[in-house]
Structure 1
Amino acid sequence: MTVAYVVVIGVTVVANLVAAAVDFGRSKWVLKNMAGYGLPASWIVPLGLVKAAGAVGLLAGFVVPVVGVAAAVGLVLYFVGAVAVVVRARVWRDVGYPTAFLALAVASLVVA
């Protein structure tokens, strides 16, 4: 296990847990963005659960590497979808947020 692995996985885990907590708190700005993207507000908790599950899976990857790889793949797919939703909605100012998370997920997959 390298320092790069620990740092990349650690940053990705923290970022996704914070994002999940914001979703679970039903933050007004997140709900507003979701409405702008054409997503129903009822999806906020399930989307937060996916982020939290990905973070927990990355942590589990320290013990069972294949679980970490699966979690990283899941997060990459999730954030590819998130970028696609924002692009489809043509809300260009918001594309940086899911793209940054996608970059973290890809980095996690690479180091895993």
Structure 2
Amino acid sequence: MFVAYVTLNIAAAVFTAIASFTYLINHSYPRAQMEMKRLPMSWMPRLGAVLAAGSIGLLVGFAVHVIGTLASLGLVLYFIGAFIAHMRVGSRNLAGWAIFFATTVATFVVNLLYHGIW
């Protein structure tokens, strides 16, 4: 269980940190995603900051377990919001979303199983 806990937390932290970086540097891929989902471009830095906070929270969770669990829950909620944004515009290109969502859900579940609810 410990190996799964560490591996999933690090993988999710790396995935979300990379995504955060692309949002924060105004990369063309997240910009195109924002346009496709008809979201305001002013949200890009905010969404990048949320992803960065989730990534940092997962890493802090190794020392303060409740922070890691809450960060993983926050990322699950973030990607539920992303799914809703996709569905709102009728997008069916969900491969990238599914990878992020599955990783964050697995991280949340492993955090709960490893540490308990609190």
Question: TM-score normalised by the shorter chain: which range applies?
Answer: over 0.9
Give the letter aligned to residue 82 of structure 1. A
- Please give the alpha-carbon distance, in whole angstroms, between the structure 2 residues aligned to 1:9 and 1:97: 18
TM (norm. structure 1) is 0.94
User: What is the aligned residue count?
Assistant: 111
Q: State the one-letter code of the partner of 2:101.
A: L
Aligned to 2:17: 17
CA distance in 2, matches of 1:28, 1:66: 35
| Residue of structure 1 in register with 2:35 after alignment | 35
| CA-to-aligned-CA distance 1:35-76 (integer Å, 9 cap, x gap) | 110101111110000000001011111001000110011000
Q: SS of the residue aligned with 1:101?
A: helix
In structure 2, the residue corresponding to 1:92 is in which secondary structure? coil
1:21-41: CA deviation from partner (whole Å, max 9, x where unpaired): 000110112112211101011
Q: Would you identify which runs of 4 or more consecutive aligned residues in structure 1 move more than 2 Å? A: none
Cα RMSD after superposing both structures = 1.0
- Normalising by structure 2, we get a TM-score of 0.90
Question: How far apart, CA to CA, are the structure 2 residues paired with 1:33 and 1:106?
Answer: 22
* Structure 1 residues not aligned, in runs of 5+: none
Looking at structure 1, the residues matched to 25 and 57 of structure 2 have their Cα atoms a distance apart, in angstroms, of 22
Partner Cα separation in structure 2 for residue 52 and residue 58 of structure 1: 10
1:77 aligns to what?
Answer: 77
